[in-house]
Amino acid sequence: MANYYRRKKDAVFHNAKPINSGNAQAYLYGVRKYSIGLAERLDADYQPPPSERKKSSDSTGSNNPEFTPSVFYRNIAPVNWFLRVIGVLPIVRRGPARAKFEMSSASFVYSVVFFMLLACYVGYVANNRIHIVRSLSGPFEEAVIAYLFLVNILPIMIIPILWWEARKIANLFNDWDDFEVLYYQISGHSLPLRLRQKALYIAIVLPILSVLSVVITHITMSDLNINQVVPYCILDNLTAMLGAWWFLICEAMSITAHLLAERFQKALKHIGPAAMVADYRVLWLRLSKLTRDTGNATCYTFVFMSLYLFFIITLSIYGLMSQLSEGFGIKDIGLTITALWNIGLLFYICDEAHYASVNVRTNFQKKLLMVELNWMNSDAQTEINMFLRATEMNPSTINCGGFFDVNRSLFKGLLTTMVTYLVVLLQFQISIPTDKGDGSDGGSNMTVVDLLMDSVSNDMTLMSSSRATTTAGTTPQPTASTKHARGHRG
């Protein structure tokens, strides 16, 4: 840090914007990236003089590596490409910090056409499933299993929701490009995420596992029809890859927070000016803003995803528990796969968001609290205290637009509510054979709707009989003297 000379007036502004990717080499020539006076020179394809170029190559060739733009976007690109293939995230990106959502773009037109075709296909499948539910006869748990295939169609609503949130997601990508420029200016090297290989494996393996789970579920729980399995595979891949996309974003924030904390701790081992601490504070504020914007940019999408996963898990676990009394059958294999797959997806969404929030705020606060202030000057001590105050006042939790915080508490709360609904459903299942206690053979051909209506009529009969008993108990009985008088009159 001996070369870290920075005047106090030369501050890093919070609303910094990156330069064009073609001018990225200007970083190596000592140009102040966020200076308003030099912004025009950067936009005008600024080239340093030959003397400065030679001096820069001799002095900074080894210490300042070449700037690599769009590190975050390149690391999550495989998952982004897969989502764009299935008509999600129609965002146009022509360079660093140039992502935008345009309704006249070819990407959005493709997304609309794909959605309309998929909606027609899903409508055809849903119509067949509705006919199956209407003609269903048997116990209540079989109806729940049939309803499970209808609920699996609901993720088609995520596509228009993501159209609504595409502008905010594009701004999130641009903010990551801005953060990478700021990180390069302060640290001297590009952001080392190294998530692209993991994203590539996810984009290949996860769709294969998703298709296998859907095919096994249809083989074990219903008659396998390839024409009706295809839309279920697309929609299941949609939810799975959105979970993977969320996982990669939270993982990128966790890695960035860890790298930032480690570099800040190493920087404090050397005596440097207070401006160095101020720069890291601004860099942390930008990372904290990225954490909050991640939840706000995808709030409606992941609120819908959380409710959908809660509904699917509840129905699948109920169908599994209601049939365990008869032994583990073939249908239970599909229910088990569905339950475990969606529980794992919900857990990773909540756990990765919790881990990112902890790394951005809590771990950074630990680094600040362990700093020894005795050897620092008063300006540096003031900056450390301001840094610690900033971590306390700026929340780093991932919040879905004010609906709820995405963390492990959300996962625990959903499971607790799920247990309550499972108890209610199991009690309702037990009450149906009690109401049909005659054991007549005619009940085998009755549908689930008939059973429900019969249960309601029995409840009404019990209520009317209890009212009649109450009325009879409150009616005054004739006394003995009245009866004796009437006898004399006769």
pLDDT digits (tens, 9 = 90+) for 389-399: 888 888 888 98
| Mean pLDDT computed over 75-101 | 91
Distance CA 45, CA 214 (A): 53
| Strand, coil or helix: 418 | helix
Q: Which amino acid is at 441?
A: D
The answer, as to whether pTM is greater than 0.85, is no
User: What local confidence, expressed as pLDDT, does residue 330 receive?
Assistant: 77
Q: Which residues contact 317 (CB under 8 A, 6 or more apart)?
A: 335, 339, 418, 422
User: What local confidence, expressed as pLDDT, does residue 457 receive?
Assistant: 57
Burial class of 402 by CB neighbour count within 10 A (0 to 12, 13 to 18, 19+): exposed
For residue 356, pLDDT over 70 is answered with: yes
| Strand, coil or helix: 212 | helix
Distance CA 399, CA 405 (A): 4
Distance CA 12, CA 284 (A): 12
Distance CA 402, CA 296 (A): 8
Lowest mean pLDDT among 159-168, 180-189, 290-299: 180-189
For residue 189, pLDDT over 70 is answered with: yes
Instruction: Give residue 460's pLDDT band: very low, low, confident or very high (50, 70, 90).
Output: low
Neighbour count for residue 258 (Cβ, 10 Å): 14
User: What local confidence, expressed as pLDDT, does residue 34 receive?
Assistant: 35
Average pLDDT over all residues of the chain: 76
Range 53-82 burial, b when 16+ CB lie within 10 A, else e: eeebeeebeeebeebebbbbbebbbbbbeb
- The predicted-structure confidence for 293-317, as pLDDT tens digits, reads as follows 999 999 999 999 999 999 999 888 8
Instruction: Give residue 322's pLDDT band: very low, low, confident or very high (50, 70, 90).
Output: confident
Percent of the chain whose predicted confidence (pLDDT) is above 70: 69
Distance CA 462, CA 464 (A): 6
User: What local confidence, expressed as pLDDT, does residue 371 receive?
Assistant: 72
